[in-house]
Structure 1
Amino acid sequence: MSQNADQAEIAKFDEDASAWWDPAGPFAPLHAINPLRLDYIERHAGPLRGRRVLDVGCGGGILSEAMAERGAQVTGIDLAEHSLEIAGLHALETGVEVDYRAIAAESLADEAPGEWDVVTCLELLEHVPDPASIVYACAALVRPGGQVYFSTINRNARAWLFAIVGAEHLLRLLPRGTHDARSFIQPAELARWSRRGGLSIEDMTGLQYNPLTQTYALSEDISVNYLMQATRPEVR
């Protein structure tokens, strides 16, 4: 199958790959929100220790390592190979065990369907040509009774103002050109794709940034950044 990937997007992430683990670098927001993402996952999934977890679009491994440190057996996949190299090197330095693979989610779904207790796909969907295909793959990869976690950016005027004008141009939290507002995804769209993939939507939660305190927090407002938790129903 042809890869569901935008080579220009991959090139952007690989260009900054050496800075993945710099907490003040271009991926600083991911370092800042990672504790919130991790706590959100464990709040809904329960303790990750001993669980098989797949991190789709793992990049440099920020979330993958954090989940492994919580005791999960983590596999991280991505198509940005320089980013994967950095992830692997950092794991060697820290002694954290993560299995990194350069493979598309759709290909892995054909190879190993239903193999994971938890599947995470955070900050990836807005960077691929066919996000619905990734959602279907994640639904296929999780075992019955397992959980899938997505995060992305809503598509509306407020999201454009905050995520692009604010974050990229005014506050410079992200490099300019990180996002294309046309690729943002409305919660209803993500929910529809998830249900078509056989998932049951359990929760949607917003993620907000306060420029005065320079801190992030989870909230009920899903108008800009949001996370979604879904479950693959048990087979009866």
Structure 2
Amino acid sequence: MNTHVNADPAELAKFSDLAHRWWDRESEFRPLHQINPLRLEWINGICPVQGLKTVDVGCGGGILTDSLARKGAQALGIDLSTKALRVAQLHAMEAQTPNVSYREVSAEALAEEAPAQFDMVTCMEMLEHVPDPASIVKACATLVKPGGWVFFSTLNRSAKSFLLAIVGAEYVLNMLPRGTHEYAKMVRPNELASYCRGAELDLRHTKGMSYNPLTKRYWLNSDTSVNYLIATQRPMA
């Protein structure tokens, strides 16, 4: 049994302190609320979620998990932040979201407990916050059934990403709390692709995401230099 927890205590504390603001659309989590419809539709266009058993790894306050459930999935959200999970559960009760549940468990521990039990796995904006992203990718690959889909989104480690996601978003525009992201922890697309190949996940689709600070609008495109999403599939046995 692997007792090592792949999490940075400082990262958990950082997001725990903000937990009560997860569902305030004008708070530090506003960008997550804005990009959620985009990534949800992209995911649903590739793998329609209606009736699927899904797990959202690193779910935080449940923004994506909740919307997956509202799309018809049987959605589980997992995280290691007790406060964020309480907020997610409270929101689900208040909003009367059907077929959604939350657990405080690591991806690796759940993978040992429930291998190949999910039709789809999502892991959004998390890999850049953990000490060992390859371990998370491997756990996601273990959790999904053969033929099932695994979706990731993260930040590229590039000069443009440093300027826009850290200097711009955290220090100039104040869209995010200062210190939200560490440049050294960002994951280049070729690194993530390597982790996926090592976990025997086949890369199927890649998308970039851009933001215009004047119009305050996000959109999906082919530019993966800052934010990007990838869709992978576990091969049939």
TM-score in same-fold range (> 0.5): yes
Aligned to 1:206: 208
Secondary structure at the counterpart of residue 105 of structure 2: coil
Aligned to 1:55: 56
Deviations 1:40-78 (A, max 9, x none): 1001112x1110010000000000000000110000000
Aligned to 1:117: 119
Stretches of structure 1 that go unaligned for 5 or more consecutive residues are: none
Aligned to 1:156: 158
Deviations 1:120-162 (A, max 9, x none): 0000000000000000000000000000000000011111001
Aligned to 1:231: 233
Aligned residue identity for 1:2: H
Secondary structure at the counterpart of residue 60 of structure 1: coil
Q: Distance in 1 between matches of 2:9 and 2:29?
A: 19
Q: Distance in 1 between matches of 2:202 and 2:163?
A: 31
Aligned residue identity for 1:54: V
Deviations 1:93-143 (A, max 9, x none): 011131100000000000000000110000000000000000000000000
Aligned residue identity for 1:90: H
Aligned residue identity for 2:95: T
Q: Distance in 2 between matches of 1:112 and 1:45?
A: 21
Secondary structure at the counterpart of residue 209 of structure 1: strand
Q: Distance in 2 between matches of 1:205 and 1:70?
A: 21
Q: Distance in 2 between matches of 1:82 and 1:123?
A: 18
Aligned residue identity for 1:167: A
Deviations 1:182-223 (A, max 9, x none): 000000000010011010000110010011211000010000
Q: Distance in 1 between matches of 2:171 and 2:219?
A: 21
Which residues of 2 match residues 124-163 of structure 1 at below 5 A?
Answer: 124-163=126-165
TM-score (norm 1): 0.98
Q: Distance in 2 between matches of 1:126 and 1:146?
A: 24
Q: Distance in 1 between matches of 2:121 and 2:107?
A: 11
Aligned to 2:183: 181
Q: Distance in 1 between matches of 2:71 and 2:118?
A: 16
Which residues of 2 match residues 62-101 of structure 1 at below 5 A?
Answer: 62-97=63-98, 98-101=100-103
Secondary structure at the counterpart of residue 123 of structure 2: strand
Aligned residue identity for 2:32: L
Q: Distance in 1 between matches of 2:31 and 2:132?
A: 25
| Shift >3 Å, 4+ stretches | none
CA drift at 1:2: 1.0
Deviations 1:16-58 (A, max 9, x none): 1000000000111000000001001001112x11100100000
Identity percentage over the alignment? 53
* Count of residue correspondences: 234
Aligned to 2:222: 220
Stretches of structure 2 that go unaligned for 5 or more consecutive residues are: none
Indicate the RMSD between aligned Cα atoms, in angstroms: 0.6
Secondary structure at the counterpart of residue 193 of structure 2: helix
Secondary structure at the counterpart of residue 74 of structure 1: strand
Q: Distance in 2 between matches of 1:169 and 1:43?
A: 35
